[in-house]
Amino acid sequence: MKGDVITGSKAGITIAAMAAALMSVLDISIVNVALSDIRASFGTPLDQIAWVSTGYMMANVVVIPMTGWLQRRFGFRRYFTASILIFTAASVLCGLAWDLPSLVAFRILQGMGGGAIIPTSQAILFARYPQKEHGMAGALFGLGAVTGPLLGPTVGGMLIEVASWHWIFLINLPVGLFAAFMAWRHIKQEDFAPSTARVDRWGIALLAVGMAALQFVLEEGTREDWFDSMKITVLAVVAGVALITFIVHQLETPEPVVDLRVFANRSYAAATGVNFLVGTALFGGSFLFSLFCGTVMHYSALDIGLVFLKGSFIQVLLMPLIGKFGGKLDGRWLVGLGIVGMCFSLWTNGHLSSTADEAALITPVFIRACSMGFIFVPLSVMALSNLRPDQRGNAAGLFNLTRELGGSIGTAWMSSALNRLTKVNTTALASHVDPYSQVTQEQLAALKATVAARVTDPLAAAYGLFSQRINMQALVRAFNANFTVLTAIFACSLVLVFLLQRANPGVKVEGAH
């Protein structure tokens, strides 16, 4: 369909899409670094500060699957520009927030704008680039999307150190205005006719309730002790009922707000499954690794950011190369290679110890960065390239949603499992300690001699340090076990690779140019 074709300056559209994607993804990781400073600034209890992230993600996951419908109703140009401006205005309001409730409210507004930016950026690039160049379009989108998490912790730490947490939001103002200007000026849709389909109010309501409830359960479940909390239990039931009803309703209604029939395409369904597991492994693994560096290695937020920066910088160089030359190879082999590399990275993480040096920490991050380059570009091409142009906006939204959901599930799962396994390992290790054995007595004597000159009761201090050693060893074992589980789960995605279909640039898809 001609109305789904985008014309205009390819360079201008690419710059707008990459700048907007970078800004949106950067904001997620940059805020996580600042939570402690925001909490101190507002005097907020520890159990409430998480709403700064939870509110954003709840709005985010509601908007993402609706992007295809909103694009058809308003057009790429108006919808994308408006989303960027909403995100930018909300960022400024976040920087000016006067208390926690106001900040959470503005973060929800920011999430409504940010949820549209990532899938719309991807859909715009695939619509503007001819099908034979979809590899490069995927690489350019990926470059903007992965550079955000790469720079976020470092930029956030530097801004907080030289200024204050307010500037992690205010920095979005010039970037957002520039991206909106470029989008409005360069994106053109000839003969675009807004969709006049009936508004699926029941679909929108079920989606909003179901996704918001599910995201709340995933974000707050660990803090609320999961199903021991009545609130989590009720919201989990609400999410399940709403989403199941939503799926049935979308498959039956002739004009759905989210077209789930796109999953009838085998390659898209398989790619989306891999993408879900990528989100689980990537976000769950990053969560564990950041926590390991902070709790075991005692790194500061800025130091952790620098480890990610040093290890992941290769992505900036690798993605354009894969985008340019990857089309000459079968994308399934590239994805398979990336999955194997990602598994090796997680397996390497699972063998870290409390004495690891910086090189040992950077190595798995580097392997992961290379692997993600091999996965991200060909996977998005095989998912979207062979779909009709009028399907890509909806498909891009669902494709990105699965990665977000995988990440939320992976993070919640790893957080809960880490707490549980740490307790189990502490009990197991303590049960093997005989206070009367020669080994135990020698270690206590050594510890007692170490602290004798600094404390009034050296024996009590020695017992305290010995207990800390047990707890630290239990924590390291829990980290290693969780990384190993992630490795096994992600290895299962290799099965889905066999269901992928190679994107054939020689086949002309109706409406492609």
CATH code, domain with 336: 1.20.1250.20
Of residues 295 and 177, the one with the higher pLDDT is 177
Residue 332 inside a domain? The answer is yes
Residue 406 inside a domain? The answer is yes
Q: Which of 139, 173, 191 is the last residue of a domain?
A: 191
Lowest-confidence region among 134-138, 364-368, 400-404: 134-138
Residue 512 inside a domain? The answer is no
Its pTM stands at: 0.80
Of residues 90 and 466, the one with the higher pLDDT is 90
Q: Name, of 50-54, 99-103, 135-139, 347-351, the range with top average pLDDT.
A: 347-351
Are 312 and 398 members of one domain? yes
Are 176 and 127 members of one domain? yes
Residue 337 inside a domain? The answer is yes
Are 221 and 303 members of one domain? no
Residue 188's beta-bridge partner residues?
7
pLDDT at 145: 67
Distance of CA 23 to the CA centre of its chain: 14
Q: How confident is the model at residue 84 (pLDDT cuts 50, 70, 90)?
A: very high
Q: Which of 218, 239, 254 is the last residue of a domain?
A: 254
The token pair at 154 is 């470092």
CA 167 to CA 94: how far, in whole Å? Answer: 10
Residue 303 inside a domain? The answer is yes
Are 411 and 426 members of one domain? no
Are 180 and 316 members of one domain? no
Are 176 and 313 members of one domain? no
pLDDT of residue 343 exceeding 90, the answer is: yes
Q: Which of 254, 269, 289 is the last residue of a domain?
A: 254
Are 63 and 172 members of one domain? yes
Tell the burial category of 280 from Cβ atoms under 10 Å away from its Cβ (0-12, 13-18, 19+).
buried
CA 378 to CA 391: how far, in whole Å? Answer: 19
Cα–Cα separations (whole angstroms), residue 455 to 187, 452, 463, 484:
70, 6, 13, 41
CA 336 to CA 467: how far, in whole Å? Answer: 44
Taking the chain, what is the end-to-end CA distance rounded to the nearest angstrom?
11
Q: How confident is the model at residue 512 (pLDDT cuts 50, 70, 90)?
A: very low
Cα–Cα separations (whole angstroms), residue 223 to 28, 68, 290, 432:
20, 34, 18, 31
Mean pLDDT of all residues in 307-329? 79
Q: Which residues lie closer than 8 Å to 82 by C-beta, 6 or more apart?
A: 74
pLDDT at 506: 44
Residue 316 inside a domain? The answer is yes
Are 143 and 217 members of one domain? no
Residue 7's beta-bridge partner residues?
188
Q: Count structural domains, the chain.
A: 4
Are 162 and 178 members of one domain? yes
Cα–Cα separations (whole angstroms), residue 364 to 50, 124, 180, 301:
28, 33, 37, 19
The token pair at 384 is 């979207």
Question: pLDDT tens digits for 287-310?
Answer: 888 888 888 888 876 787 788 888
Are 142 and 242 members of one domain? no
Residue 508 inside a domain? The answer is no
Q: How confident is the model at residue 352 (pLDDT cuts 50, 70, 90)?
A: confident
Are 186 and 220 members of one domain? no
pLDDT at 61: 81
The count of other CB atoms within 10 Å of the CB of residue 503 is 24
Q: Which domain holds residue 74?
A: 1-191
CA 465 to CA 443: how far, in whole Å? Answer: 10
Residue 232 inside a domain? The answer is yes
- Three-state SS for 300-355 is CHHHHHHHHHHHHCHHHHHHHHHHHHHHHCCHHHHHHHHHHHHHHHHHHHCCCCCC
CA 185 to CA 89: how far, in whole Å? Answer: 20
CA 205 to CA 338: how far, in whole Å? Answer: 38
Are 79 and 213 members of one domain? no
Express as a percent the part of the chain with pLDDT over 70.
Answer: 86
